Amino acid sequence: MVYENPDGVMIGLEVHVQLNKANTKMFCSCTSDYTDSEANTCLCAGCLALPGTTPVLNEKSVDYAIRIGLALNAEIENETDFFMKSYFYPDLGNGYQVTQFDRPIVKNGSVVIEGEDGELKVRITRAHMEDDPGKMAHFGTIEKSTGSIIDFNRSGMPLVEIVTAPDMRSAKEARRFLDKLRSILEYLDVFDGTREGAMKADANISVNVFNGKRIEGTRVEVKNISSHKAVEKAINYEIMRQKDYLRKNKQLVQETRHYDEDRNVTISLRVKETADDYRYFPDFDLVPMIVGDRVEGIRAQMPELPDAKRERFVSQYGISDAHAKSLVTERAFADLFESVAAKVDQKSAASWVADVVKGELNYRDLPITAIKGDDIVTVIEMVTKKEISEESGVTVIRTLLDDGGKPADIVKAKGLAMVADDFIATAAKEAIAESPDAVADYKAGTEKALNFIVGKVMQKAKGKADARLAREMVLKELEKM
Ligand SMILES: [Zn+2]
């Protein structure tokens, strides 16, 4: 099936997910948690590919791949196997990468994202297991480098490569796909997305309609882009470059390019290899795997995923779809919401957690652990009981994040307690006496004039009055006139 594509841009992604929660590397017992270790210290003869070593498969990495496949609504291959993909590169000790070829463990899945014009189902062609090479660092830029150094700590890490069909039509859709995928993977607890290099993407980009005419699009692959923001920028650059070539009648070639984030350009690395160049060959150290019998056990233990949770939040708590969508992007956030919603009004819980708490955490770039659910509950209760205004509630949340402490102490220290009703009644009378023009306008039928008077009451209460009550009291006074 070919998707209709009016803009003429087709984007497919290959996403490499490092299973850094699999405890060990893919074929040896070295730790998968090497991030904070010194270079070249998490190694053994196996992951250095020294002669005479044989691989022992980490079962957990297989289970994680199955878990990912199920989350992507895909088919799991009953019998699967490993191949050697040969290429010469200094960070690859074996001279080949262990990967899968014609029988990937996962195939034919899909992920639904918000497209440019409504829901877009991005097809997942396949997802296969492979091991990561070591990590090279180049002195200077990749084109003009005078030398390189290698750290083998990463060598042999289990990866799952997820390959999409070219169903995305803009850089923004590609970014949304990656955000959604990351969210799903975090729910699955198969990787820690905050680790450097935990998720990397290659983007295939081709422009196949230009100036309203269908052309033979040339697929260009931009390799190893590490952040979602960089993927979006790299794709936008590449679309612009390809259209510029077409405009000038220059020949586009099928090639692999590198994205230089500092300069925001892509540069040619090599003309694209074909499968033949890799000389795929069955890995004679690894027997075929029968995985079918594991699938049902794993399926039974699958967590609730973001889409299902979003639907449940709307039906169970009666909150808006926009709030539900915002709350489920991170599992920890969804959990926080549910713990708060168990104790206070559920709609209030949704708007405080999704709008206020999430916004303030993001603004400060703080993790969710920076705030306690019980403190949020206390703040919501104080607002509901009209002990403090909504505005003051936000101040309390901000103070909790900036300085810590207890909500009640913050209210006291900052003098946020709501003023008494009789204060508002007096303030309403004063505000009316001070605003003869507004009163006359209101009496003449200008509803808006009321806001001016209520605003004056709020000023007198220094924001520590309930705006609805202030309005009611102003109206009551006006009726007497
Ligand atoms: Zn090892």
- 44-79: pLDDT as tens digits: 999 999 999 999 999 999 999 999 999 999 999 999
Centre of ligand 1 to C-alpha 145, Å, is: 29
Centre of ligand 1 to C-alpha 31, Å, is: 8
Centre of ligand 1 to C-alpha 30, Å, is: 4
Q: Is the pLDDT of residue 322 over 90?
A: yes
Centre of ligand 1 to C-alpha 139, Å, is: 27
Percent of the chain at pLDDT exceeding 90: 71
Report the domain count for the chain.
3
Could you tell me which residues come within 8 angstroms of residue 212 by beta carbon, excluding any fewer than 6 positions away? none
Q: Is the pLDDT of residue 358 over 80?
A: yes
Q: What integer pLDDT is reported at residue 282 of this predicted model?
A: 95
For residue 416, tell me if it sits in a domain: no
Last residue of a domain, which of 274, 297, 320? 297
For residue 304, tell me if it sits in a domain: no
pLDDT, tens only, 382-400:
999 888 989 899 999 999 9
Pair 266, 78: CB distance under 8 Å = no
Centre of ligand 1 to C-alpha 387, Å, is: 60
pLDDT band, very low/low/confident/very high, at 99 (cuts 50, 70, 90): very high
CATH classification of the domain holding 439: 1.10.10.410
Whether residue 283 sits in one domain with residue 178: yes
For residue 111, tell me if it sits in a domain: yes
For residue 76, tell me if it sits in a domain: yes
Whether residue 388 sits in one domain with residue 476: no
Centre of ligand 1 to C-alpha 409, Å, is: 53
Quote the CA–CA distance of 299 and 276 in Å, as a whole number.
Answer: 36
Q: What integer pLDDT is reported at residue 5 of this predicted model?
A: 56
Whether residue 252 sits in one domain with residue 396: no
Centre of ligand 1 to C-alpha 258, Å, is: 29
pLDDT, tens only, 397-415:
999 999 999 999 999 999 8
Q: What integer pLDDT is reported at residue 1 of this predicted model?
A: 37
Q: Is the pLDDT of residue 271 over 90?
A: no
Centre of ligand 1 to C-alpha 305, Å, is: 33
Quote the CA–CA distance of 428 and 435 in Å, as a whole number.
Answer: 11
Centre of ligand 1 to C-alpha 29, Å, is: 6
Centre of ligand 1 to C-alpha 157, Å, is: 9
Whether residue 462 sits in one domain with residue 361: no
Centre of ligand 1 to C-alpha 48, Å, is: 7
Centre of ligand 1 to C-alpha 129, Å, is: 17
Centre of ligand 1 to C-alpha 283, Å, is: 18
First-residue to last-residue Cα distance in the chain: 73
Centre of ligand 1 to C-alpha 98, Å, is: 14
Whether residue 389 sits in one domain with residue 246: no
Centre of ligand 1 to C-alpha 137, Å, is: 21
Q: What integer pLDDT is reported at residue 4 of this predicted model?
A: 53
Centre of ligand 1 to C-alpha 190, Å, is: 20
Centre of ligand 1 to C-alpha 41, Å, is: 10
pLDDT, tens only, 120-142:
999 999 999 999 999 988 888 77
Q: What integer pLDDT is reported at residue 6 of this predicted model?
A: 56
| Whole-number Cα distances in Å, 204 to 27, 220, 254, 329, 356 | 30, 6, 10, 26, 38
Last residue of a domain, which of 408, 440, 463? 408
Centre of ligand 1 to C-alpha 55, Å, is: 10
Centre of ligand 1 to C-alpha 219, Å, is: 37
Whether residue 224 sits in one domain with residue 330: no
Q: What integer pLDDT is reported at residue 273 of this predicted model?
A: 62
b/e code 429-462 from CB counts within 10 Å (16+ = b):
eebbeebeebbebbeeeeeebbebbbebbbebbe
Centre of ligand 1 to C-alpha 35, Å, is: 15
Q: What integer pLDDT is reported at residue 308 of this predicted model?
A: 96
Centre of ligand 1 to C-alpha 420, Å, is: 69
Of 356, 402, 391, the residue nearest 376 (C-alpha)? 356
Centre of ligand 1 to C-alpha 15, Å, is: 24
Centre of ligand 1 to C-alpha 97, Å, is: 15
Phi and psi dihedrals of 203, rounded to 5? -115, 130
Centre of ligand 1 to C-alpha 151, Å, is: 13
Mean confidence (pLDDT) of the chain: 92
pLDDT band, very low/low/confident/very high, at 7 (cuts 50, 70, 90): low
Q: Is 238 buried (19+), middle (13-18) or exposed (0-12) by CB count in 10 A?
A: buried
Percent of the chain at pLDDT exceeding 70: 98
Centre of ligand 1 to C-alpha 44, Å, is: 4
For residue 134, tell me if it sits in a domain: yes
Phi and psi dihedrals of 27, rounded to 5? -125, 15
For residue 414, tell me if it sits in a domain: no
Of 166, 164, 169, 141, the residue nearest 236 (C-alpha)? 169
For residue 142, tell me if it sits in a domain: yes
Q: Is the pLDDT of residue 22 over 50?
A: yes
Whether residue 89 sits in one domain with residue 61: yes
Centre of ligand 1 to C-alpha 20, Å, is: 14
CA 12: distance to chain centroid? 18
Q: What integer pLDDT is reported at residue 275 of this predicted model?
A: 65
| Token reading at 202 | 């290659």
Whether residue 215 sits in one domain with residue 237: yes
Last residue of a domain, which of 268, 297, 326? 297
Whether residue 119 sits in one domain with residue 64: yes
Pair 391, 416: CB distance under 8 Å = no
Centre of ligand 1 to C-alpha 82, Å, is: 18
| Whole-number Cα distances in Å, 440 to 434, 436, 446, 475 | 12, 6, 9, 14
**Which residue segment(s) compose the domain that 317 sits in?**
311-408
Mean per-residue pLDDT, 239-260: 91
Whether residue 136 sits in one domain with residue 250: yes
Q: What integer pLDDT is reported at residue 479 of this predicted model?
A: 87
Centre of ligand 1 to C-alpha 25, Å, is: 7
pLDDT band, very low/low/confident/very high, at 369 (cuts 50, 70, 90): very high
Centre of ligand 1 to C-alpha 435, Å, is: 80
Centre of ligand 1 to C-alpha 381, Å, is: 54
Q: What integer pLDDT is reported at residue 2 of this predicted model?
A: 42
Pair 379, 407: CB distance under 8 Å = yes
**67-71, 90-94, 228-232, 319-323: range with lowest mean pLDDT:** 90-94
For residue 4, tell me if it sits in a domain: no
pLDDT, tens only, 143-174:
788 888 999 999 999 999 999 999 999 999 99
Centre of ligand 1 to C-alpha 64, Å, is: 19
Centre of ligand 1 to C-alpha 301, Å, is: 30
pLDDT, tens only, 195-232:
888 999 999 999 988 888 888 878 899 998 888 999 99
Whether residue 317 sits in one domain with residue 266: no
Q: Is the pLDDT of residue 423 over 90?
A: no
- Angle (CA) 308 298 316, round 5°: 20
Whether residue 235 sits in one domain with residue 319: no
